[in-house]
Amino acid sequence: MSTGFFVTGTDTGVGKTTVSCALLHAFSARGYMTIGMKPVVSGQEDGVWQDVEHLKAASSVRLAHELINPYAFVEPIAPHIAAQKTDIPIDLEKIRQSCEKLLAAADVTIVEGVGGFMVPLSLSGLPGERYDTCDLAKVLGLPVILVVGMRLGCLNHALLTACTIKSAGLKLAGWVANRIDPDMLQPEANLQTLSAWLDCPLLGVLPYQTHPDAQQLAQYLDLSRNGLFFT
């Protein structure tokens, strides 16, 4: 039996890759074969895409790069703009087929989303023609894990995202509080508020680390609270 999760976040840069890698390590430590996927990435650095490299390093199953990362754009810009500039439209069906191969090869597939939960992906913005990362998650049909970057403004972003996930008919499997801002005021009160307002399990509170280490951060994830597959 295999399963997968779609990891989204309250924004870009809130820790989706870090949490995805920590999840891969946490499942791996429990003896599961794991693989990470980054369907769409933009922003090449030193000839590679860092998110993809991090996910590969944290995965125990190796598959072809094109399956793990079907779309990679060089410039660090919004994906649909990169798709327009390079004339490479993002095909959700192609991503779904790649994801299916990953799901078949591993016990646990962790798909890292792109930016937040409603990032445009289509070339056209016309009603009926447009699609975004929410549609990508719907096409994949995986339960969603929401990474909340704990900083001022995260309450609104987290609640809006959770609302959109549920309106899309997707299961919100849980959320992870990622302490990206060591100077955030009232972190505990914010945590309590989100725990009360988000109707899904808190899978872990990741502390701020000067040099984040996903393998170390995995110890802060409680997979038994997921209640889906792993107890």
Region from 10-18, 60-68, 74-82, 216-224 binding Mg ion, contact rule CB under 5 A: 10-18
Region from 16-24, 27-35, 159-167, 173-181 binding Mg ion, contact rule CB under 5 A: 16-24
- Pick from 100, 212, 216, 222 the residue near ligand ATP by CB under 6 A: 212
Question: Please, are residues 36 and 5 in contact by the beta-carbon 8 Å criterion?
Answer: no
Residue 6, strand partner residues: 111, 144
Question: Please, are residues 114 and 41 in contact by the beta-carbon 8 Å criterion?
Answer: yes
Site for ligand ATP in 41-80 (CB under 6 A): 51
The distance of closest approach from Cβ of residue 43 to Mg ion in the complex, given in angstroms and rounded to an integer, is: 10
Question: Please, are residues 110 and 23 in contact by the beta-carbon 8 Å criterion?
Answer: yes
Q: What is the DSSP string of 51-80?
A: HHHHHHHH-SS---HHHH-SEEESSSS-HH
Number of residues forming the site for ligand ATP (CB under 6 A):
17
Q: Closer to ligand ATP by CB, 105 or 155: give it.
A: 155
133 binding Mg ion? (CB under 5 A): no
The tokens describing 58, both together, are 């944290």
Lookup result for tokens 């508020």: 193
Q: Closer to ligand ATP by CB, 147 or 198: give it.
A: 147
Question: Please, are residues 172 and 165 in contact by the beta-carbon 8 Å criterion?
Answer: yes
Q: Closer to Mg ion by CB, 51 or 107: give it.
A: 51
- Pure H helices in 109-186: 133-140, 154-167
Is residue 38 part of the annotated active site? The answer reads yes
Q: Closer to ligand ATP by CB, 9 or 143: give it.
A: 9
Phi first, then psi: give them for residue 173, nearest 5 degrees. Answer: -70, -25
Site for Mg ion in 45-104 (CB under 5 A): 51
Tell me which residues touch ligand ATP (CB under 6 A).
9, 12-18, 51, 115, 178-180, 206, 208-209, 212
Residues annotated as part of the active site: 38
